[in-house]
Structure 1
Amino acid sequence: MTTSADEGQFLNMLLKLINAKNTMEILAMDINRENYELGLPIIQKAGVAHKIDFREGPALPVLDQMLQDKHNGSFDFIFVDADKDNYINYHKRLIDLVRIGGLIGYDNTLWNGAVVAPPDAPLRKYVRYYKDFVLELNKALAADPRIEICQLPVGDGITLCRRIS
């Protein structure tokens, strides 16, 4: 999974604006350590390897363990660009891990434009499969009274959620 140049630049500035010190990116959790090691030379070249706490394993049990270990409210910013069919499950956990006033960013919330496509629109198989999961997330975020949201047409759509309670 990749982040577009405009999205990367936007997130970089946003993190500076909110003075984020403790962040999480769900892709820093993976069931296969080889995926992390593939990017490790770039991480090392950038001089940030000491800032990354890679967790091997499925993300949901890792998040459950973090909640059990009392990491509640300890993150300034959390970014999610992972399996779209678990976005709702991630949100249920992440809302407690991000501090009040902190941000959660969900990537791909416009999902190739599929979220506004007519039901009979010709869509690639994987786009059609995940469309309902992304729509479900968008509806749930809009109805969640613990956050205020802003959906931006940057990259493939990013929805920022600021925890207010």
Structure 2
Amino acid sequence: MDKISKPSILPNPVILQSEELLKYILETSVYSREPETLKELRDATASHPMGFMGAAPDAGQLIAMLLKLLNAKKTIEVGVFTGYSLLLTALTIPHDGKIIAIDPDIKSYEIGLPFIKKAGVEHKIDFIESPALPVLAKILEDPTNEGTFDFAFIDADKNNYWNYHERLIKLVKIGGIIAYDNTLWGGMVALPEKLVPEPKREWRLSTLQFNKAISKDSRVEIAFVSIGDGVIFCRRVC
């Protein structure tokens, strides 16, 4: 008797990486639950020359859930751009919650500001126009700030990710989460260097070095999620 062939249970990598699958996920469970002001900000960001830098809405959905699970009330954001993740956080945390948002580019932030005001959450945000390292150093000058933040989101210059990490690990409480965006760097972390466009090699290398370092950091538990452009979630354990 001929054996009945069974369908393979292994996933098809072509399907898993397809734009069609991402479209299915977004249209099925993300866009239908996205607050209107977030959608409006996402649409406004799409016309920006650097619009691809905006946080991925499916990653945002996961971040919102984590904020709720943490009962987060005090957060910090390094790298704001037009403010999609910032507005998402402000909509999620309580009315008396606070976010320190740091970015040297206030013009991009001002694109999102009307939507933040429309959502009625501007009072939760302390936007600081500055490179992040001096601000983080200033915050750490007061030892009472250590271990007081519930959540941090970093979407900034990749060559400083480890410098940010060394400071944020002191500011985020034990049990809190630090999320690092763009840790797949457009998938280029998995490519041989010779296949990577030369202008992108330096930050690719910085991303590779950070990913390797964070995977060995015993102070955190990590989850490397291939959502958006890759997000590493770090839960501080000591």
TM range (shorter): over 0.9
Partner of 1:13: 65
Task: State whether residues 111 and 127 of structure 1, in contact with CA within 8 Å, keep that contact through their aligned partners in structure 2.
Answer: no
Q: Quote the Cα distance in structure 1 between the aligned partners of 2:139 and 2:232.
A: 24
Q: Which moved more, 1:152-161 or 1:47-56?
A: 47-56
Q: Which amino acid aligns with 1:29?
A: I
Q: Does 2:127 align with 1:57?
A: no
**Offset at 1:127?**
2.8
Q: Quote the Cα distance in structure 1 between the aligned partners of 2:226 and 2:111.
A: 30
Cα distance per residue 1:83-103 (max 9 Å; x no partner): 111111101100000000000
Q: Which moved more, 1:75-84 or 1:38-47?
A: 38-47
Partner of 1:44: 117
> Which segments of 5 or more consecutive residues in structure 1 lack a partner in the other structure?
none
**Offset at 1:32?**
3.7
Q: Does 2:199 align with 1:147?
A: no
With the length of structure 2 as denominator, give the TM-score of the two structures.
Answer: 0.66
Q: Quote the Cα distance in structure 2 between the aligned partners of 1:90 and 1:126.
A: 23
Cα–Cα, structure 1 residues 42 and 125, in superposed 2: closer, same or farther, change >3 Å? Answer: farther
Q: Quote the Cα distance in structure 1 between the aligned partners of 2:189 and 2:115.
A: 34
**Offset at 1:164?**
0.3
Query: Counterpart of 1:109 in 2: which secondary structure?
Result: coil
Cα–Cα, structure 1 residues 119 and 32, in superposed 2: closer, same or farther, change >3 Å? Answer: closer
Q: Quote the Cα distance in structure 2 between the aligned partners of 1:112 and 1:38.
A: 25
Partner of 2:189: 115
**Offset at 1:141?**
0.5
Q: Could you say which structure has the greater relative contact order, defined with CA pairs below 8 angstroms and 6 or more residues apart?
A: 1
> Which segments of 5 or more consecutive residues in structure 2 lack a partner in the other structure?
1-52, 80-100
Q: Quote the Cα distance in structure 2 between the aligned partners of 1:131 and 1:69.
A: 34
Task: State whether residues 193 and 201 of structure 2, in contact with CA within 8 Å, keep that contact through their aligned partners in structure 1.
Answer: no
**Offset at 1:5?**
1.5
Q: Quote the Cα distance in structure 2 between the aligned partners of 1:49 and 1:116.
A: 39
| Larger Cα-atom Rg | 2
Q: Does 2:86 align with 1:22?
A: no
Query: Counterpart of 1:64 in 2: which secondary structure?
Result: helix
Task: State whether residues 112 and 127 of structure 1, in contact with CA within 8 Å, keep that contact through their aligned partners in structure 2.
Answer: no
Cα distance per residue 1:48-93 (max 9 Å; x no partner): 1000011121100000000002211011000000111111110110
Q: Identity of paired residues, percent?
A: 53
Q: Which amino acid aligns with 1:15?
A: L
Of 25, 35, 56, 1:4 maps to 56
Query: Counterpart of 2:126 in 1: which secondary structure?
Result: coil
Q: Quote the Cα distance in structure 1 between the aligned partners of 2:156 and 2:197.
A: 19
Q: Quote the Cα distance in structure 1 between the aligned partners of 2:67 and 2:126.
A: 18
Partner of 1:33: 106
With the length of structure 1 as denominator, give the TM-score of the two structures.
Answer: 0.94
